[in-house]
Structures are given as structure tokens and as C-alpha cells.
Amino acid sequence: MSDPMRIRAQAQGDKAVVRVLMSHEMETGLRKDSAGKNVPAWFIQEVNASLNGKPVFNAFWGTAISKNPFVQFTIKGAKAGDKIVVDWVDNRGDKRSDEATVT
């Protein structure tokens, strides 16, 4: 089971800035281990975010994204008290979903 994400969402006027920090190895598949064998690729493939259940953000990621990725985006019309849910799926099918409230 992967570690939880850190999600912060701050209302700024009629928008909310969402910052998400994810815990993931993000292996490219190009690295070799000490025995000289390829370390298999292992990365987050899809990221979704929703505001009060309505999808607002969708991204397809690949191996170019760094380890422990950080993503920031702005949602128009979000206000304090709204619920934000972020989830990701990696290429092994592992999932993680965390939520935060806009402050």
C-alpha cells in the first residue's frame, strides 16, 4: 500500500489553488540494479481530480515525471469548504485516492 498524498487546497478569490504531493518511486525502466538487471518501469499513469464529485482535472503521465511528484493546478469557482478528491493509478494497477477540503 502506498503512502498517502499530501493535498493542500487554498481558496483565492473565486479560484482555489490545489497542491498535491504524491509518494511514488516513478521508475523509468531504464535503470539497472546492482546485479545489472533492468529495474522494471513503475510509474503513475493517470491522475484525476474532482471537485464535489465533478471531474475537474485529468492527466496522463509517463516516465518523464520525477520521483515523489508534485502537481499544482487552479480550479475556477471553487470555494472554502468544497471537497477535492485526487486519485491516481499506476502501470501496475495500484491505486490511491485521497481527499482534502478547500480552506
Partner 1 sequence: MLGVLVALLGVVPVQAQKSAADGIAEYRKMLEDGNPAELFEARGEALWKQKRGPKGASLEACDLGKGAGVVKGAFVELPRYFADTGRVQDLESRLVSCMQALQGFDAAAIANTPFGRGEQDNVTALATYVAASSKSLRFNLPQSHAEERRMYEIGKRVFYFRGGPYDFSCASCHGEDGKRIRLQDLPNLTKNPGDGVGFAAWPAYRVSNGQMWGMQLRLNDCYRQQRFPFPGFGSEATVALGVFMGVNAKGAESIAPSIKR
> Binder to partner 1 among 31, 67, 76, 92 (CB under 8 A)?
67
> Binder to partner 1 among 70, 74, 94, 103 (CB under 8 A)?
70
4 touching partner 1, by CB under 8 A:
yes
Q: Which of 33, 44, 37 is nearest to 66 (CA)?
A: 44
Beta-carbon count within 10 A of 13 CB? 7
Total interface residues for partner 1 by CB under 8 A: 11
34 touching partner 1, by CB under 8 A:
no
User: CB of residue 36 vs partner 1: minimum separation in angstroms?
Assistant: 19
31 touching partner 1, by CB under 8 A:
no
Cα 96 to chain centroid distance, Å, stands at 9
94 touching partner 1, by CB under 8 A:
no
User: CB of residue 72 vs partner 1: minimum separation in angstroms?
Assistant: 7
Which residues lie across from 28 on neighbouring strands?
none
Burial of residue 64 (number of CB atoms within 10 Å: 0-12, 13-18, 19+): exposed
